[in-house]
Structure 1
Amino acid sequence: MLRNLTIACFALTSVGVAQAFTSPKGYLTTEGATNHNYMLFSKYEMYWQAIDKTNIGAGTKVMREVSWRRDGTGGASTYAARTMTNWEMSIAKADYGLHNSVDISKNALTGTLKQVVKPRTLNVVDVSAPPTTAPAPWTTVVKFDTPFIYDGLDALLWEVRYTANTLSTNYSFDFTTGGNYAYSSSTASKLGTACTSSGSTSPITWTTQWRNYGAGFSIYHAGISNLPKSAPAFLWIDFADANLTAPIVCTTIHALPTIVLPLGVSDSLGSLAKAEFPLPYVASAVGASLYGQVWGFDAGRASGLPMSFSDGAKWTIPNDPTSHDVVRNYRYKTNSTSTETISGPWTGGIITRFQ
């Protein structure tokens, strides 16, 4: 009995000890391949998110602080000290394959997101001069307000936010590369013509992609215009081109509602913002074709069904991408009055130490 108690106490103690590790894995004393100096601490306002699967299976770790270092070579006067307002950090676990690059708040697994640094003022030092030897020291160190226990069973997600920055010039970080994109994509070819919604002078327009993340699919659209105004809209998905015409609909129906995705309610101009809809991965579906069509409820149509349809879309599901281990997404503003930019996913990661 005492022996079992000793073993249990030892196990608890070993979990409780902060173990230094990096995300991506393996860079505690190794320099990354390049630098990344134009994003994380270089905007007026930032919401940064990284998702990393390199530490899956590496065991449980207790995280009590985060650190960053500058790149080991090169210098620039722009890498000056700065102060960020309402700087905060949260950590979670993520399903690496079910990725949403538009509403990135949905990437954390339900119930796992934890704020580890409450909003504070963060001052970072001048890193203009390159270090005498690489890798550089960990010059930005932030203690957590509450620890995070990462069990290594799923991808690690960490995100940083701040609402203002005294300087928006470049700031150097050590970085490991990973290509250009974390997915392969296929832009849909269009079928037929779209309806013109009541109160509009132009037909419905939309551009859509099928994305393959290797462990999950998604449908992405870059915005939809000229829908019925302030009305619910839907995407119908089918496995064949229905190619149906009828007097009660305003155009040819290319997709029947085999699968239905609610898209939300259009704004007062009849527009929907860009969005991404994660879907499960099915290996046998790669190379297959699917068909889609958007419609909005249109109470003002003079005749037929109160539905205004877009043109049809034909996706060919693309091949799996080259496997990448780390992706990152951004939402940021360049000044207090600029519109928010949404960017990502991009592969590769800033070398980040947790312990």
Structure 2
Amino acid sequence: MNAKRIVLTASLIAAAAAAQAPTFTSPSNFFTTEGNSSDDGWIGLSQDPQQSTQHMAIDATQIGTARAAIRAAHWRRDQRAFEPGAVARTTRIGMRMAHGDYGLVQRGDFADVNDVLTTPWVIVYTPKPTNIPDWTAVPSTTPAAFTFRLPFDVPFDYDGVDAMVFNILGYQSSSPNDSRHPVDKHEDQAFYVWVGPDTGTGCRPDGVNEMHLGAQWWVFAEQDTSLRTSVEHAPPAQPVILNLGLANPQFTLPGLCADIMSTGEISVPMGMSDAGGYLERRFDLPHQASYVGGLDLHLQAWAFDPNEPIFGLAGSQGHQLAQYPQPPVPGMAMATSTVGVWTSGTTDFGDFVFWQGYGSIVTGWEN
């Protein structure tokens, strides 16, 4: 009988532990993926009762799946070296959740959270002293287990239609000021730079240096796209044009000091070169401009050159820009992270603007 009781007790304990495990994550599907960054501050770095640290994020990776009665949040330690300051402590923690329009965040920087929200905040965990686990040791697994659980006072029903917004508040830590608790976090690059190869050679207007064209796609994740160009060693103080073509004919025309290396379906003025023959120009495009970004473009710059006797032109080498890589749509944006906020009291949540950082603390959710 005692043996049966022991087995039954062990089974009940295992079932209870499983019932308190996270069932999904933000970002989605991060149970076995380690974040590429970490966050130290939101748990509360200061003993001062009037200084808080907060983290706010919007998660669109859950859209399409309703999550009823979310009853707890979980966090895990980052895979960094031994952290002597990450001792067990008591910190006042608060948390609130809502629904939000992720499209407003995608359209640009500095989207105010009050404009983004589509439902009122629900305070799921009233700010109160909360025990934080010891995270001094390096985790034995990658990623670490979720060992910090925050059981909600009030469950949150996520509708799966809009994005999920959450705000964590920490203040009045029992540990010395600036003690660190390395929470796992994942970030995506804010932008991607894409360059292509050069072809051929350019003219040498000064007799020594080759006229050279540089070009890059700058593709901001979920925001704008720009083609950034520069020319060096052009004839000084002369107008420069940029030819954009669908092919490189590599055509030699007698009297030109450079081959024609762009079919030039589009020609746009870049401006005037300076006294040193340098010029740069940025062309802004709509985000993910497929009508341009989906093409292999061949670029070449031409400048007026009074020292060229036949055509009066000097050309750069050719520069190819292949289709830029489609940036991932991260689906998460941070409003603030590890930012000290002076509040009028000890239980104030702060309202922030979402910025051009993509990612969030890796959070497990239990429902």
Contact 2:100 2:119 (C-alpha < 8 Å) held by counterparts: no
Matches within 5 A, 1:34-53: 34-44=36-46, 45-53=52-60
Q: Which runs of 5+ in 1 are unaligned?
A: 1-16, 183-211, 217-314
AA of the residue aligned to 2:54: Y
Matches within 5 A, 1:237-248: none
What is residue 32 of structure 1 aligned with on the other side?
34
Matches within 5 A, 1:163-182: 163-166=171-174, 167-180=177-190
Classify 1:118/1:42 alpha carbon distance in 2 versus 1 (closer, same or farther; 3 Å).
Answer: closer
Alpha-carbon distance in structure 2 between the residues aligned to 1:43 and 1:104:
26
**TM-score, scaled relative to structure 2:** 0.49
- Structure 1 stretch displaced more, 43-52 or 148-157: 43-52
Matches within 5 A, 1:45-64: 45-64=52-71
Contact 1:79 1:171 (C-alpha < 8 Å) held by counterparts: yes
Classify 1:121/1:102 alpha carbon distance in 2 versus 1 (closer, same or farther; 3 Å).
Answer: farther
Are positions 1:97 and 2:103 aligned together? yes
Matches within 5 A, 1:61-100: 61-85=68-92, 87-99=93-105
Are positions 1:324 and 2:294 aligned together? no
Alpha-carbon distance in structure 2 between the residues aligned to 1:59 and 1:138:
22
Are positions 1:352 and 2:363 aligned together? yes
What is residue 153 of structure 1 aligned with on the other side?
161
1:351 Cα deviation (Å)? Answer: 1.3
**TM-score, scaled relative to structure 1:** 0.50
Alpha-carbon distance in structure 2 between the residues aligned to 1:343 and 1:82:
30
Of structures 1 and 2, the larger Rg is shown by: 2
Q: Tell me the secondary structure at the aligned position of residue 364 of structure 2.
A: strand
Q: Which runs of 5+ in 2 are unaligned?
A: 1-19, 47-51, 193-219, 225-282, 289-325, 345-349
Alpha-carbon distance in structure 2 between the residues aligned to 1:156 and 1:95:
9
AA of the residue aligned to 1:128: T
1:49 Cα deviation (Å)? Answer: 0.5
State the Cα RMSD in Å. Answer: 3.8
Classify 1:59/1:334 alpha carbon distance in 2 versus 1 (closer, same or farther; 3 Å).
Answer: closer
Alpha-carbon distance in structure 1 between the residues aligned to 2:167 and 2:191:
19
AA of the residue aligned to 1:76: E
AA of the residue aligned to 1:174: D
Alpha-carbon distance in structure 2 between the residues aligned to 1:131 and 1:49:
26
Alpha-carbon distance in structure 2 between the residues aligned to 1:135 and 1:179:
21
AA of the residue aligned to 2:182: S
Q: Tell me the secondary structure at the aligned position of residue 134 of structure 1.
A: coil
Q: Map Cα deviations across residues 145-179 of structure 1 (whole Å, 9 max, x no partner).
A: 11011111111111112343344233112222311
Contact 2:57 2:333 (C-alpha < 8 Å) held by counterparts: yes
AA of the residue aligned to 2:103: G
AA of the residue aligned to 2:169: R
Classify 1:342/1:108 alpha carbon distance in 2 versus 1 (closer, same or farther; 3 Å).
Answer: closer
Q: Tell me the secondary structure at the aligned position of residue 357 of structure 2.
A: strand
Contact 1:91 1:156 (C-alpha < 8 Å) held by counterparts: yes
What is residue 284 of structure 1 aligned with on the other side?
none
Alpha-carbon distance in structure 2 between the residues aligned to 1:112 and 1:342:
16
Q: Tell me the secondary structure at the aligned position of residue 104 of structure 2.
A: coil
Q: Map Cα deviations across residues 235-291 of structure 1 (whole Å, 9 max, x no partner).
A: xxxxxxxxxxxxxxxxxxxxxxxxxxxxxxxxxxxxxxxxxxxxxxxxxxxxxxxxx
Contact 2:99 2:119 (C-alpha < 8 Å) held by counterparts: no
2:150 to 142, 147, 150: 142
Matches within 5 A, 1:1-355: 20-28=23-31, 30-44=32-46, 45-85=52-92, 87-99=93-105, 104-166=112-174, 167-180=177-190, 214=222, 319-320=287-288, 322=327, 323-330=329-336, 332-333=339-340, 344-355=355-366
Contact 1:19 1:63 (C-alpha < 8 Å) held by counterparts: no
Contact 1:89 1:118 (C-alpha < 8 Å) held by counterparts: yes
| Aligned sequence identity (%) | 25
Q: Map Cα deviations across residues 4-42 of structure 1 (whole Å, 9 max, x no partner).
A: xxxxxxxxxxxxx997110110122x0324331333225
Alpha-carbon distance in structure 1 between the residues aligned to 2:54 and 2:148:
18
